[in-house]
């Protein structure tokens, strides 16, 4: 059975329904969700003003640790397979024991556990004496500044990872508590037998997992608190160092004494590298002589040694260019006075930086490859027995790989240092090197646009916080809602909207074909199913995007205010529509009369019901009116309806014959039902006629309506009585007598006659 799609005007109502349901759910969850995450033993007090439970003391942690050790020892003493879930309980108990040991140690020495890194406190130093300052001293400040900034970045990333870890731990604890409650309920129902023993083991395992999850949350929250303290301690030293570097940046110089000092250091390092290269070259030559005609193991060792010698030559070349690099920095300081010369040098430094960065990326990738080879070789050597003849050769390959990795890391460090020095020289010039071609301008614009879009994509609109209490500690889980998350939610919801529409269409089409549903009812049912699917899609999309429902708590508050000031009727009609749909006292297709409106029910929507009158005009009736007022449902339980026609015949007529003629006319009409049959009653002796009343039944929704059938029967009755010579009485007239004067007869037609007594 085909089902037409809802018209566009229904979309706004559907969105309103989904929004109302989401807001109401969010408003409830904003108050009840954090407590629902906790077991009964760990939930905060019901009163908002009640103080939080005190955290366990060192003695309490020690007592819990001792009890956990005793339980763990008892589990280990049980023979394997002697009890259900023994291995799982032993693993959970070992994890609980490790976490409790860490907590007991932290509680025993809280000062050392809470101590943060004291190096940032010594970072706010400055250069003494009058300018100019040596560039080596300024670089020392910059190195310290870069180190603190790197710490801040690492701590920021660590905090993000800890937030995710705490969120996962809270979810795991909720799942463990739910499993524990389920196991306890099942245990109360089964008190004996093998199933009871297994249920007791499951309860013990669930309790262990719940305790482990709670301790995981506490441990992660402790680490997060320390990271936050360290991050807060870094803010002021970084700011002071930044101000000091800005002060001395334009007052630095590179003297000949500094250059000589750097040249001496570079020559000493180069001689060391040269000696190392010579040693490896001799070892390589010796191994080539010894390994002539040997197997693949010796060939691999020789290849690694050869690459190590090549890397050492590259290190020597970098050390030779070290003095040239510092002289270039000296020239850059001199070139700052001339803008054109400074701009040309800035372009040269930019190209040099790009080349060094390319080599640095290559060195990093090569280092990752070497680490993988080293890990594989270590596994291979560990797998060989001591008396294996190939073990010695594989060990030499392992030693060669370790030496090669050390040289590669040294090369990466030198390239990274060279990149830093070039970048500082470029920054000290104080000019922006403009692109020298259209391609350069496009690349620069693309890079700037990409950075701007990245910042806009990750911009945080707002954040939501959930708080839970575990062992006297308030643990908060923060969820940030960014622009990227919001756009992703919209895209996923659009896809889900389309999928929900298709699924509801296919589902209702199948139901209509199998259950023989009417088109109108199927259309209404599809709207409701589609709205429910949209709500489910919205909740799933928010879950996938990791946006908590508590983020919309403000929407629930706004909705509550709206309900209090004018949305009562909307909510009342919405709930009334749900009641009408499930109660089914009024269904699509029923013929009803509501007040002065009578017609057929076309649809039962969220807010109102549409009734099409017999004159073709649609009436929009609020759903609450269908529940609060008296409604006549003509086709609610019986699809038939009785109608009445009054017929008056003149006095002196054969009443029985007239009644038979009227009955025959009713039976002859195709729309008059034979069961129950039509019936004529002698209704009354009227003042001017003998009154007959025809009672007949028709089916609602038939080919001809009730008024049309009445008209057909009146035509037929008039023709039948006229043919039989039975006169239909004239209209009844009102007679008024005046007994004091002449008798005046006033007819309803308006004429009067005087009658003498």
Q: Look at residue 369 in the predicted model and tell me its pLDDT.
A: 92
Q: Residue 644: enclosing H or E segment and its boundaries?
A: strand 640-649
DSSP state, residue 701: T
Whether the predicted pLDDT of 422 surpasses 70: yes
pLDDT > 50? residue 36? no
Best-predicted range by mean pLDDT (3-17, 436-450, 738-752):
436-450
User: Where is average pLDDT lowest: 150-154, 187-191, 402-406, 741-745?
Assistant: 741-745
Dist CA 237 CA 366 (whole Å): 36
Residue 638 has pLDDT above 80, yes or no: no
For residue 15, give the nearest of 692, 572, 527 by alpha carbon.
527
Angle 731-734-736 from CA coordinates, rounded to 5°: 155
Examine residue 234 and state whether it is found in any structural domain, yes or no.
Answer: yes
Q: Are the CB atoms for 692 and 655 separated by under 8 Å?
A: yes
* Mean pLDDT, range 545-553, rounded to an integer: 63
Mean pLDDT of all residues belonging to the chain: 77
Q: Is residue 38's pLDDT more than 50?
A: no
Report pLDDT for 554.
58
Q: Of 153, 159, 152, 158, give the one whose Cα is nearest residue 234.
A: 152
Range from 28-37, 434-443, 513-522 that averages highest in pLDDT: 513-522
**Residue 371's pLDDT is what?**
92
What's the mean pLDDT in 557-565? 63
pLDDT for 134 = 85
Q: Where is 245: in which H helix or E strand?
A: helix 194-248
Place of tokens 């007594």: 757
Q: Is the pLDDT of residue 745 over 50?
A: no
Q: Is residue 206 within 8 Å of residue 180, measured between CB atoms?
A: yes
Question: DSSP states of 500-548 as a string?
Answer: HHHHHHHHHHHHHHHHT--HHHHHHHHHHHHHHHHHHHHHHHHHHTT--
Structure confidence by residue, pLDDT tens digits, 84-115: 888 888 898 898 889 888 888 887 765 554 45
Structural domain span for residue 715: 640-723
Q: Is residue 507 part of a domain?
A: no
Tell me, yes or no, whether 481 lies in a domain.
Answer: no
Query: Residues 305, 310, 315, CA angle at the centre, nearest 5°?
Result: 120
Is residue 359 domain-resident?
Answer: yes
Is 80 exceeded by the pLDDT of residue 313? yes
From the number of C-beta atoms within 10 Å of its C-beta (0-12, 13-18, 19+), residue 520 rates as middle
Whole-number percent of the chain with pLDDT over 90: 11
Out of 25-39, 400-414, 606-620, the most confident range is 400-414
What pLDDT shows up at residue 564?
A: 63
Mean pLDDT of 147-154: 91
Give the integer Cα–Cα distance in Å for 692 and 728: 11
The answer on 366 and 242 residing in a single domain is: no
The answer to which of 363-372, 402-411, 597-606, 710-719 has the lowest mean pLDDT is: 597-606
Contacts 24+ apart (CB under 8 A), 107-111: 107/56, 107/57, 107/58, 107/61, 107/62, 108/58, 108/61, 108/62
**Domain shared by 276 and 388, yes or no:** yes
Using alpha carbons, list the distances in angstroms from residue 85 to 94, 197, 198, 211. Answer: 14, 11, 8, 17
Q: Do 605 and 577 form a contact (C-beta atoms < 8 A)?
A: yes
Reported residue count of the chain is 757
SS3 state of residue 243: helix
- Shared-domain flag, residues 286 and 154: no
| 259 and 130 co-located in one domain | no
Question: Per-residue pLDDT for 237 more than 70?
Answer: yes
Is 355 found in the same domain as 215?
A: no
Element spanning 76, H or E: helix 58-77
Angle between helices 568-583 and 9-36 (to 10 degrees): 100
Euclidean distance between CA atoms 331 and 327, whole angstroms: 6
* CATH code: domain of residue 701: 3.30.70.100
Q: At what angle do helices 296-335 and 391-429 cross, to 10 degrees?
A: 10
Task: Give the C-alpha separation, 474 to 224, whole Å.
Answer: 13
Residue 164 main-chain phi, psi, to 5 deg: -65, -40
- What total number of domains does the chain contain? 4
pLDDT band of 732, cuts 50, 70, 90: very low
End position of a domain, from candidates 248, 269, 288: 248
**Cα distance from N-terminal residue to C-terminal residue, the chain:** 80
Q: Above 70 in pLDDT, residue 567? A: no
Q: Which residue has the higher pLDDT, 124 or 341?
A: 341
512-517: long-range contacts, CB 8 A cutoff, minimum separation 24? 512/1, 512/3, 513/1, 517/1
Whether residue 737 lies inside any domain: the answer is no
Count CB-CB contacts under 10 A for residue 333: 17
As a whole number of angstroms, the distance between CA 684 and CA 692 comes to 7
Domain boundary among 390, 416, 434: 434
Dist. CA 689–CA 646, nearest whole Å: 11
CA distance 551 to 27: 10
Local confidence band at 206 (pLDDT 50, 70, 90 cut-offs): confident
pLDDT band at 466 (very low <50, low <70, confident <90, very high): low
The answer to whether position 52 is within a domain reads no
Same-domain check for residues 710 and 620? no
Handedness of CA 738, 741, 745, 746 (dihedral sign): negative
Q: Which residues contact 704 (CB under 8 A, 6 or more apart)?
A: 671, 712
User: Band of the pLDDT at 578, cuts 50, 70, 90?
Assistant: confident
Model confidence at 245: pLDDT above 60: yes
746 assigned to some structural domain: no
**Does one domain contain both 104 and 156?**
yes
- Alpha-carbon separation of residue 5 from 43, 166, 524, 588 (angstroms): 49, 46, 10, 17
**What pLDDT does residue 636 have?**
63
pLDDT number for residue 462: 66
In 3-state terms, what secondary structure has residue 70?
helix
Q: Are residues 400 and 264 in the same domain?
A: yes
Say if residue 290 is in the same domain as residue 165. no
Q: What is the pLDDT of residue 748?
A: 35
Above 70 in pLDDT, residue 66? Answer: yes
Residue 407 is predicted with a pLDDT of 92
364 and 379 share one domain: yes
Q: In which element (H, E) is residue 473 found?
A: strand 473-482
Lowest mean per-residue pLDDT among 41-50, 274-283, 444-453: 41-50
In a shared domain, residues 645 and 621? no
Q: Is residue 2 part of a domain?
A: no
Beta bridge partners of 480: 463
User: Are residues 107 and 121 located together in one domain of the fold?
Assistant: yes
9-13, 358-362, 383-387, 561-565: least confident range: 9-13
Token output for 483: 């622009």
Q: Among the three residues 415, 434, 453, which one is the final residue of a domain in this structure?
A: 434
Q: Which pTM value belongs to this model?
A: 0.59
Of all residues in the chain, the percent with pLDDT exceeding 70 is 78
Burial label for 368, CB within 10 Å (0-12, 13-18, 19+), is exposed
Residue 402 has pLDDT above 90, yes or no: yes
Residue 404 is predicted with a pLDDT of: 92
């Amino acid at each position: 059975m085909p089902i037409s799609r809802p018209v566009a005007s229904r979309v706004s109502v559907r969105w309103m329904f989904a929004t109302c349901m989401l807001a109401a759910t969010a408003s409830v969850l904003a108050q009840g969700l954090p407590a629902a995450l906790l077991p009964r033993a760990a939930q905060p007090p019901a009163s908002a003003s009640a103080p939080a439970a005190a955290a366990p003391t060192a003695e309490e942690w020690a007592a819990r640790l001792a009890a956990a050790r005793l339980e763990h020892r008892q589990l280990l003493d049980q023979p394997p397979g002697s009890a259900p879930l023994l291995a799982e309980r032993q693993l959970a108990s070992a994890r609980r024991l490790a976490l409790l040991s860490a907590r007991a140690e932290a509680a025993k020495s809280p000062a050392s556990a809470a101590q943060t890194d004291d190096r940032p406190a010594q970072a706010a130093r400055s250069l003494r004496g009058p300018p100019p300052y040596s560039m080596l001293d300024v670089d020392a400040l910059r190195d310290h500044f870069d180190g603190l900034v790197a710490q801040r970045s690492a701590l920021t990333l660590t905090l993000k990872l800890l937030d995710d870890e705490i969120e996962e731990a809270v979810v795991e604890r909720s799942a463990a508590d739910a499993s524990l409650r389920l196991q306890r309920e099942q245990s109360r129902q089964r008190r004996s037998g093998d199933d009871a023993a297994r249920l007791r083991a499951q309860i013990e395992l669930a309790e262990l997992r719940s305790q482990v999850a709670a301790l995981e949350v506490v441990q992660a929250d402790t680490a997060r608190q320390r990271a936050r303290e360290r991050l807060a301690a870094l803010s002021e030293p970084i700011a002071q160092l930044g101000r000091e570097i800005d002060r001395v940046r334009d007052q630095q110089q590179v003297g000949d004494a500094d250059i000589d000092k750097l040249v001496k250091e570079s020559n000493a390092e180069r001689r060391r590298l040269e000696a190392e290269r010579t040693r490896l070259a001799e070892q390589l030559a010796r191994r080539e002589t010894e390994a002539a005609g040997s197997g693949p193991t010796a060939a691999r060792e020789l290849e690694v040694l050869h690459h190590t010698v090549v890397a050492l030559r590259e290190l020597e070349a970098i050390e030779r260019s070290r003095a040239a690099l510092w002289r270039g920095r000296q020239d850059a300081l001199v070139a700052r006075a001339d803008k054109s010369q400074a701009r040309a040098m800035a372009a040269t430094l930019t190209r040099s930086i790009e080349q060094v960065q390319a080599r640095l990326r290559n060195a990093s990738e090569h280092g990752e490859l070497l680490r993988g080879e080293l890990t594989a070789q270590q596994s291979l050597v560990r797998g060989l027995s001591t008396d294996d003849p190939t073990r010695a050769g594989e060990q030499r390959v392992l030693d060669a790989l370790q030496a090669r990795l050390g040289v590669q890391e040294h090369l990466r460090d030198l390239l990274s240092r060279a990149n830093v020095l070039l970048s500082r020289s470029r920054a000290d010039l104080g000019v922006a090197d403009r692109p020298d071609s259209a391609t350069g301008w496009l690349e620069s614009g693309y890079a700037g646009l990409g950075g701007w879009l990245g910042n806009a994509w990750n911009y945080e609109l707002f954040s939501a916080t959930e708080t839970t209490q575990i062992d006297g500690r308030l643990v908060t889980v923060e969820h940030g809602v960014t622009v990227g998350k919001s756009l992703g939610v919209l895209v996923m919801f659009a896809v889900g909207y389309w999928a929900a529409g298709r699924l509801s269409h296919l589902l209702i089409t199948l139901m209509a074909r199998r259950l023989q549903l009417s088109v109108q009812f199927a259309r209404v049912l599809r709207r409701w199913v589609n709205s429910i699917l949209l709500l489910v899609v919205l909740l799933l999309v928010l879950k996938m995007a990791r946006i908590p429902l508590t983020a919309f708590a403000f929407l629930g508050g706004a909705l509550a205010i709206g309900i209090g000031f004018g949305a009562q009727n909307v909510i009342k009609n919405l709930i009334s529509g749900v009641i009408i749909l499930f109660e089914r006292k009024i269904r699509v297709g029923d013929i009803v009369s509501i007040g002065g409106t009578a017609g057929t029910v076309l649809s039962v929507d969220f807010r109102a019901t549409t009734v099409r009158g017999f004159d073709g005009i649609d009436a929009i009736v609020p759903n609450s009116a269908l529940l609060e007022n008296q409604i006549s449902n003509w086709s609610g339980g019986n699809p038939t309806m009785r109608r009445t026609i009054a017929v008056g015949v003149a006095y002196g007529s054969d009443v029985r014959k007239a009644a038979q003629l009227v009955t025959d006319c009713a039976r002859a009409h195709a729309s008059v039902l034979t069961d129950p049959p039509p019936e004529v009653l002698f209704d009354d002796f009227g003042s001017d006629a003998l009154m007959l009343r025809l009672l007949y039944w028709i089916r609602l929704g038939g080919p001809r309506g009730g008024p049309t059938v009445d008209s057909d029967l009146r035509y037929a009755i008039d023709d039948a009585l006229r043919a039989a010579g039975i006169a239909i009485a004239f209209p009844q007239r009102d007679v008024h007598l005046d007994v004091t004067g002449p008798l005046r007869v006033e007819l309803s037609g308006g004429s009067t006659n005087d009658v003498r007594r």
